[in-house]
Amino acid sequence: MFERYFGLSENPFNLTPDPKFLYLSKVHQEALSHLQYGIEQRKGFVLITGEVGAGKTTICRSLLAMLPTGTRTALVLNPSLSDVELLQTINQDFGIDASSSSKKALLDELYEFLIDVFINNENAVLIIDECQNLSPNVLEQVRMLSNLETEKEKLLQILMIGQPQLAKMLASPDLKQIDDRIVLRYHLWPLGLNDTRKYINHRLIVSGSPGDIRFTARSMKKIHNYSNGIPRRINAVAERCLLIAYLRAKRKITARIVDSAIDELQGNYLERRPPGRLLVPAFITAFAIIASGIFWPSIFSELSEYMNSSVTATEQEIAPNSSVTAVEQEIIPAVNEKEELPAISQDWVIPDYSSALETLALLPDGLTGPDMLNLHPRPDCLQFITKPSVASVAGGYMVLVHATPDFVRIIGKDRAILEIPMEEFNTIYKWNIMINYAKNVKEEIFTLDDTGDEVKRIQSLLFEYGYISVELGGVFDTVTADGVAQLQEDFGLRRDGVVGPETITLISLLEKGVR
């Protein structure tokens, strides 16, 4: 979106854990040293903890690239597994037979493999990410894996990586046996202000910056204060700063640009600002007012009232040179029931994802955070998503604003506003929408036998949407799990019956539809 303007080869602040962008602060250097030492000296258990977004997964991927030849590795990124599924995943990643459902057979295969690795003077490393999500039974299985050893050395080096609550879990009396076996521990602390500066500049250099992007000292301090030194949050606000600077034709990132970026990430679109807070060029201000005149009063404000009235398929365009008064006076005419809605034209399809995101950014509640939820809902489920999204269609993308069983309202190329019969939309819809949101800092998982108010909330939503027939009492039972699994299938999430971060985000979106 802004890469060409700034002369960058790629986005320097992508949220994906790319080892190429690894900035080795003193903290990260020490973490890598601990991991390498634990593997080379065959210490068995090594524990690395850190807050969400602190760079744990990036450290993992960088470690894999640094390991010497003759090191066999298995990486488990999704630990929400049973003990048998964990063994199957480990064996599969090591390239050995994982077809059995017998724990003994799987362990025998793994032990035989590890003996061969040892005889060949090689090493075997198991890396388990997000270990705080492991159940006690699976943690016990991990402990049992550490028993695979010779008289002198461990056959399997196990690196456990997780959030700070993992250390608290392991300190409990029930997990004392596994806690006692951890010989190396390290916590990834957030970056300080100086390292935050170096981190941002490092990523700009790696992405090919010619050196003309300048973050002022105040802007750096504001980014550090907002992010608390967490790399993922630094990436989110720095990326938004570049986008705002690009839209304003600036190359210097000022404190005011950072303020705007933080406001957008926090979703403060409707907050009244004091005069002079944002020194936006006049043409952008006019554009924003005009866009608000079209989108907010006519389409997005009081959506339910607007959707209940008869409307026709229309094609409008946000005209930057139109007066606000003229735009506000536009009225979408009532539908003539005999009038045919226009066929879908390829001219209305947005050809690239970046342009679709730019359009999404213009809408209230369009961009509210650094994360994207990737859903694959059935067409008849689109009506329950009340938040704007980017929909994949044949030939590109459309911004989906609203859906009913009969039609969808979308924004297409050149910001044309269209209503398309659902029957016609189905011919180009590729069963994929992307919704922008901000992850909850505390990522919880709810599964069988869990209890509490959050479980009641999940069950209430399932009941409202017909996934369970009676409203249950706050215990996550098999009926709840089956309802969750069906919900996940309908909206294209992994069907496992477990309410993880993505499923809880989907539930939050659907709750807005109920209200």
- Residue 265, number of CB atoms within 10 A of its CB: 19
pLDDT digits (tens, 9 = 90+) for 78-136: 767 888 888 999 999 899 988 888 989 999 999 999 999 989 988 999 998 888 888 88
- 41 and 109 share a domain? yes
Q: What is the model's pLDDT at position 239?
A: 92
Is 443 part of any domain?
A: no
Instruction: Give me the domain span that covers residue 467.
Output: 453-514
Number of compact structural domains in the chain: 4
Q: What is the model's pLDDT at position 105?
A: 92
Rounded to whole angstroms, the Cα distance separating 12 from 238 reads 9
- 198 and 151 share a domain? no
Q: Quick check: 267 pLDDT over 70?
A: no
Question: Residue 216 corresponds to which tokens in the numbers above?
Answer: 């002022």
Is 12 part of any domain?
A: no
pLDDT digits (tens, 9 = 90+) for 196-246: 999 999 999 999 988 889 999 999 999 999 999 999 999 999 999 998 988
Of the chain, the end-to-end C-alpha distance in Å amounts to: 35
- 417 and 309 share a domain? yes
Q: Which of 156-160, 228-232, 336-340 has the lowest mean pLDDT?
A: 336-340
Q: What is the model's pLDDT at position 514?
A: 55
- 433 and 329 share a domain? yes
- 312 and 395 share a domain? yes
Q: What is the model's pLDDT at position 45?
A: 84
- 314 and 367 share a domain? yes
pLDDT digits (tens, 9 = 90+) for 395-452: 888 999 989 988 898 888 888 888 888 888 888 888 889 898 877 766 788 888 888 8
- 132 and 258 share a domain? no
Specify the 3-state DSSP secondary structure of 371: strand
Question: Residue 26 corresponds to which tokens in the numbers above?
Answer: 């003193």
Q: Quick check: 357 pLDDT over 50?
A: yes
Q: What is the model's pLDDT at position 238?
A: 93
From 259, 280, 301, the end of a domain falls on: 280
The answer to pTM > 0.75 is no
Question: Residue 463 corresponds to which tokens in the numbers above?
Answer: 């009941």
Question: Residue 24 corresponds to which tokens in the numbers above?
Answer: 């080795």
Question: Residue 454 corresponds to which tokens in the numbers above?
Answer: 């959050």
Q: Kindly report the CATH number assigned to the domain that includes residue 492.
A: 1.10.101
Q: What is the model's pLDDT at position 225?
A: 94
From 280, 302, 333, the end of a domain falls on: 280
- Beta strand 45-50 with 71-76 is unpaired
From 280, 300, 326, the end of a domain falls on: 280
Q: Which of 441, 432, 450 is nearest to 498 (CA)?
A: 450
CB 502 within 8 A of CB 493: yes
By CB neighbour count within 10 A (0-12 exposed, 13-18 middle, 19+ buried), where does 463 fall? Answer: middle
- 141 and 198 share a domain? no
